[in-house]
Amino acid sequence: MPSFDSDAAYLAIKARDARFDGRWFVGVTSTGIYCRPICRVRTPRRENCVFFDTPAQAEAASFRPCMKCRPEVAPGPGLAWTVMDASRTLARQAAHWLDHAAAEEETPSIAALAAHLGVSDRHLRRIFAAEHGVTPLQYVQTRRLLLAKQLLTDTRLPVAQVALASGFRSLRRFNAAFADSYRMSPTRLRGDATPEAVSPADGVTVTLGFRTPYDTAAMLRFLTARAVPGVEAVEACSVRRSVRAGVLGPEAGWLEAAFIDATPTRPASLRLRYAPTLARHSGRVVMAVRRWLDLDAAPQTIDDALHDLPGAPGLRMPGSIDAFEMAVRAVLGQQVTVAAARTLARRLIERFGEPIATPWDDIARGFPSPAVLAAAPLAHIAELGIIRTRVGAIQALANAWPELTRLLALPHQPEALMTALAGLPGIGPWTAHYLAMRALGWPDAFPPKDVAVLNAMKTLFGTQNQREADARAEAWRPWRSYAVLRLWNSLAPLPLASTSTGDT
């Protein structure tokens, strides 16, 4: 049973209301097809509509995905935890863990998942079925099939490569699963589709959806101010960057993300192009980009919660593609200007970064790996103009990165990551919160002793100190990270890359 009112959902279908995109799906019994709420085909009759919370539920009921609105492009459900009962929270956290496992091309273990969540296998299966209407393995299978459908539709990757990129261990199993679920072969679907991508030699291109509004101008301004030459470049409506080896796959690569405006026949979307070296890891790439550009956020919910803060609707929280890069750059930015922080990062990249082949002359190096910076003599880093205490913090981060990587895989336990970070030299509470906010994607970070936040809140609400600011910010839970962005944006451009008074 869906977790919403079906009659209200039908009205949203008639209005093609984008606010509900990815929140639920409609199966049409007369066609055997399921669609997104924004599908622009003729609105089905009410008596022919069956509603589902997830694509997995629709496919378990023998519905096939629509070729027009393409459910595989829809934004994800967003936060896997909200203010709800514990069982639903656990079930949604389990789905997020399965998403991560599928993207990492891992074979999910229900026993490992249950242990991770601190419940028994039996209890996990029960609450998962109650929340999602399918078993965990059915959920993963649907996720992989939808990724395969997207790659078959958008790209010209060979079918065998699509199978591997979607998490199937063999072409035979992929063909069987695809035919069983969609009642057609992968090659037939590709024959019915019109690929929009260039050839794999020039990159792999896919389309990603998001809910509107999306304040693209604010996102691109934020990224522009922090783009380091040689690694990242921002243009009018797109961002391009390199990806070092070991981040999205064993080989280095590159990404290009371009925002595409809506038209009368097509919703707004993101066109993602990435290196052929990353094609085998397409699931991981797509998940990382969705998190980087916050494509799964629910803007109406967030904007409603932050109604007393200035700012345009649809503000998104910039994440990161490379969490280690984000951590090092946060240290480099402590108590210096944005321009100075970019200069230090550029020097670090030029000295220790590996060359990377990309389609662009201005993107030619990758960020240094943890192993390289951990092994570098301290004096060789310090001579770039980085003070020795910060060099020590960077090398401590590099040496601790294997353990920190494990904690980064636990997005619903930010306290564990922040505790580990705070135990490292040169990493204070502000930096720990900032990394949880941007590297982990934690939506409820509230970095303490943030000068800009305190100044903005004093102007807007008359708060006089951190204690009063913390009390006032309780009303913004669980979206305090977005509140921080709005508060930063309410002031003139900041002179410091780090606005903390506590981290040194």
Instruction: Give the Cα separation of 297 and 22 in Å (integer).
Output: 11
Per-residue pLDDT of the chain (504 residues; tens, 9 = 90+): 456 688 989 999 999 988 889 989 999 999 999 999 999 999 999 999 999 999 999 999 999 999 999 999 999 876 544 444 577 778 888 888 888 777 766 677 888 888 877 888 899 899 989 888 899 989 999 999 999 999 999 998 999 999 999 989 899 999 999 999 999 999 998 875 554 444 545 899 999 999 999 999 999 999 999 999 999 999 999 999 999 999 999 999 999 999 999 988 889 999 999 999 999 999 999 999 999 999 999 999 999 999 999 999 999 999 999 999 999 999 998 888 888 999 999 999 999 999 999 999 999 999 999 999 999 999 999 999 999 999 999 999 999 999 999 888 776 778 999 999 999 999 999 999 999 999 988 999 999 999 999 999 999 999 999 999 999 999 999 999 999 999 999 986 654 555 554 464
Strands 204-209 and 232-234: unpaired
Strand runs labelled E in 48-191: 49-52, 64-65
- Read off the amino acid at residue 157: L
Please pick, among 35, 49, 66, 69, the residue that the annotation labels catalytic.
35
Domains 6-70 and 323-489 are alike in CATH topology: no
| Residue 49 annotated in active site | no
Question: Which of the 8 DSSP states describes residue 336?
Answer: S
The string of DSSP letters for 304-322 reads: HHTTTS-S-TT------S-
Instruction: Give the Cα separation of 439 and 204 in Å (integer).
Output: 25
pTM: 0.89
| Residue 99 annotated in active site | no
pLDDT at 406: 87
Residues facing residue 274 across a β-bridge: 204, 255
Residues 207, 213, 218, 222, Cα dihedral to 10°: -50
pLDDT at 82: 47
Task: Please state the φ and ψ torsions of residue 363, each to the nearest 5 degrees.
Answer: -120, 105
Alpha-carbon distances, residue 442 vs 47, 79, 263, 408 (angstroms): 41, 9, 32, 10
Contacts of 175 (CB under 8 A, 6+ apart): 163, 185, 186
Question: Which of the 8 DSSP states describes residue 184?
Answer: S
CATH number at 323-489: 1.10.340.30
Q: Which helix H or strand E contains 28, and what residues bound it?
A: strand 25-28
Instruction: Give the Cα separation of 350 and 361 in Å (integer).
Output: 15
CB crowding 92-108: b at 16 or more within 10 Å, else e: bbbbbbbbbbbbebeeb
Strands of 269-274's sheet in order across: 204-209, 269-274, 253-260, 238-243, 232-234
For the chain, what are the domain ranges?
6-70, 323-489
Residues 286, 292, 293, 295, Cα dihedral to 10°: 50
Please pick, among 21, 215, 322, 450, the residue that the annotation labels catalytic.
450
**6-70 belongs to which CATH class?**
alpha beta
Alpha-carbon distances, residue 381 vs 142, 171, 328, 344, 390 (angstroms): 47, 48, 12, 10, 10
Instruction: Give the Cα separation of 365 and 355 in Å (integer).
Output: 4
Q: Which residue has the tokens 């004093």?
A: 458
Query: What tokens does 132 get?
Result: 């999602």
Among 350, 386, 382, 384, which Cα is nearest to 368's? 350
Instruction: Give the Cα separation of 162 and 155 in Å (integer).
Output: 9
Instruction: Give the Cα separation of 228 and 363 in Å (integer).
Output: 10
Instruction: Give the Cα separation of 65 and 71 in Å (integer).
Output: 6
pLDDT at 193: 53
Asked whether the beta carbons of 473 and 446 are under 8 A apart, the reply is yes
Strands of 64-65's sheet in order across: 49-52, 25-28, 33-35, 64-65
Asked whether the beta carbons of 366 and 354 are under 8 A apart, the reply is yes
Angle at Cα 406 formed by Cα 400 and Cα 409, nearest 5°?
135
Instruction: Give the Cα separation of 417 and 295 in Å (integer).
Output: 23
